[in-house]
Chains A and B, each alone.
Chain A
Amino acid sequence: MTLDDTLASLFPNGSKIATTGAMIAGQAILPDGGPVHVLGVTQGQPLGVDEAIVLAGRVIEIVKSGDRAPILVLVDSASQRMSKRDELLGLSEYLSHLAKSLLLAEAEGHRTVGLLYGGSAAGAFIATALATATLVALPGAHPAVMDLPSMARVTKLPIDVLKAKAEATPVFAPGLDNMMQTGGIHVVWNESAPLAPQLAAVLRRPQGQDDRARLGAERGGRRKAAEIADRVVTLAAAAHQGAQHG
């Protein structure tokens, strides 16, 4: 599906979305007549300081408008931009700032939905798609932390060995299925059906807690994370009680 096809299927009532370089931003109308903000990274481009600051600025403007309309973040990116300039200028702060602005928007009453329709990796994935309340994907999307050849180089394991290990566990190798099983992606949409009602269904989800670790446990890709995090909370509370009354 091209980006235009995707937008047409998402917003049959029309949209006004502009592309600037690798970034898109605009508004559309939901089937129920309400507005939805759209922004994102396209064309598999890397996310650097220049892109992150523009996207974050847009999100902060939306929050300040007070309209509480949903925000859809479309993602087809590479990884963070790997350059001396970006790191010199403090890329980590820019990517975090973008993630924080999306988390702020959610906390201030905007539904935030990520739609991964192409690639994304590492810092760019964390700062965009993974900073939304609900992340969905289209078939063919390909999230990664690092590609297998690079992983082979760093772990000093032959790529065939890595491929064989990737058959046994979803925990390290790139790909949509693995990110689904580990709980990072809520649902993969059916692209042969209209996307508008599928988006509407996601927007009807109750708002609230981070349920990715629980999904990862249910799907078998991340069996320990939810349990360990919960146990720390319980132990800390029990120790606190003990300290107060002991």
Chain B
Amino acid sequence: MEKLSFRLTAPRCAGGTRTQAIVGVVASGNLEVLLERASPADMCTIDIATAAHGFGAVWDAVVRDFVARRSAGGLRISINDGGARPDTVALRLAQGVRKIEEPER
């Protein structure tokens, strides 16, 4: 496993009141994303454990783009990756934010 960590300034804070959300599964070409409200409102931390070694630069680009474009502030994001492609990663991150922002019932 390769471990990567990012701590980024987030322009927008995640909405909603759910304390956590999880999307995806760990499988070949897939990943799980766990989102928790555990960072300052203007920060987003992302910790990744990935089965595919040597893709640090790709992860860097994907997570920076995600934090810049979505409301990721206040989130601690943890990822277990089974070797997903960047577009799948971006999709799961977006799904994760959508899920943690869903109204509670």
Q: CB atoms of A and B under 8 A apart anywhere in the complex?
A: no
B residues near A (Cβ < 8 Å) are: none
